[in-house]
Amino acid sequence: MRPLIAGNWKMNGVVASLAQVSTVASRIADEAPPADVLICPPFTLLANAVATSAGRIAIGGQDCHALPSGAFTGDISAEMLADAGASAVIVGHSERRQQHGESDAMVAAKVRAAWRAELLPILCVGETEVEHDGGYAADVVTAQLDGSLPTGASALTIVVAYEPIWAIGSGRTPTADQIARMHALIRAWLETALGREGSDVRVLYGGSVRPANARAILALPNVNGVLVGGASLVAQDFLEIARSVPSGR
Ligand code: PGA
């Protein structure tokens, strides 16, 4: 299974930031790490990022609407992302779930929208700090998978990202054991839901991934890549994370 190193720029980046895309794309083309590399810039930079990367890395969106078009001021459809040259889209990020009130059902509809537009959806799940401290993390993540991953997924058509909300942007990461246990739980869920295909779905870890901890996280069982926020804004840091993929995975 080829790991995926994905960068989520969130609401950061202006035209000048395309230099970061250019640096990452050319280094990745030269170094050819054993991983797929994806950058998800804000919508305003998407088409330019696609042109700048020239196919050397993948470019994705950070969200999409469930419908292909219509009277939805400010929204962007999966078809529009594909039209701009995106090949993937993040759906169900905790910042969307929390700040935009996205339910599991809405996230499931966005996964289906991504499929309709032939984009690879990266479905985010993860518990809050209160849920974590209360010992409910497994229940929360299982419920999110039940509610937001529609039937019909295969190893090539879904990526799951486990992002404990308390680890996002906080500089705190779960212990190696906590990450491994949650990824094993997600793997077991996927194998129950998808059968053999579930063994080959990539499950990413996200939340305060940095060059200093990427190698250890990427070496854990059932961790098939990372979803990187803050550290993806600095080309050298993001490249260092891409270089942390163990060879032969
Ligand atoms: P972070 O964000 O790497 O800045 O913690 C991760 C994410 O939200 O995808």
Q: What is the pLDDT of residues 58-101, one digit of tens each?
A: 999 999 999 999 999 999 999 999 999 999 999 999 999 999 99
Instruction: Determine whether the shortest distance from the Cβ of 229 to ligand 1 is under 6 A.
Output: yes
Q: Is 178 exposed, middle or buried (0-12, 13-18, 19+ CB in 10 A)?
A: middle
Q: Is the pLDDT of residue 248 over 80?
A: no
Q: Whose CA is closest to atom 7 on ligand 1?
A: 229
Q: Is the pLDDT of residue 135 over 70?
A: yes
Q: Whose CA is closest to atom 1 on ligand 1?
A: 229
Give the pLDDT band of residue 108 (cuts 50, 70, 90). Answer: very high
- Biggest alpha carbon distance in the chain? 48
Q: Is the pLDDT of residue 42 over 80?
A: yes
Among residues 93, 102, 127, 183, which one is catalytic?
Answer: 93
pLDDT of residue 249: 58
Q: Is the pLDDT of residue 23 over 90?
A: yes
What is this structure's pTM?
0.97
Per-residue pLDDT tens over the stretch 182-222: 999 999 999 999 999 999 999 999 999 999 999 999 999 99
Q: Is 25 exposed, middle or buried (0-12, 13-18, 19+ CB in 10 A)?
A: buried
Return the CA Rg of the chain. Answer: 17
Strand partners, 123: 91, 160
Q: Is the pLDDT of residue 112 over 80?
A: yes
Mean pLDDT, rounded, of the chain: 97
Q: Which two tokens stand for residue 39?
A: 């950058």
Q: Is 163 a catalytic residue?
A: yes
Per-residue pLDDT tens over the stretch 137-196: 999 999 999 999 999 999 999 999 999 999 999 999 999 999 999 999 999 999 999 999
Q: Closest by alpha carbon to 117, among 58, 76, 150, 145?
A: 76
| Closest atom, ligand 1, to C-alpha of 169 | 5
Q: Output b/e per residue, 221-236; b: 16+ Cβ within 10 A.
A: ebbbbbbbbbbbbebe
Phi, psi (5° rounding) for residue 146?
-55, -40
Q: Whose CA is closest to atom 9 on ligand 1?
A: 229
Q: Is 132 a catalytic residue?
A: no
pLDDT of residue 247: 83
Q: Is the pLDDT of residue 110 over 70?
A: yes
Q: Please, which residues have CB within 8 angstroms of residue 120's CB and are 6 or more apart in sequence?
A: 60, 87, 88, 89, 114, 157, 158, 159
Among residues 65, 131, 163, 183, which one is catalytic?
Answer: 163
pLDDT of residue 16: 97
Rounded to 5°, the CA angle 147-121-213 comes to 95
| High-pLDDT (> 70) share of the chain, % | 99
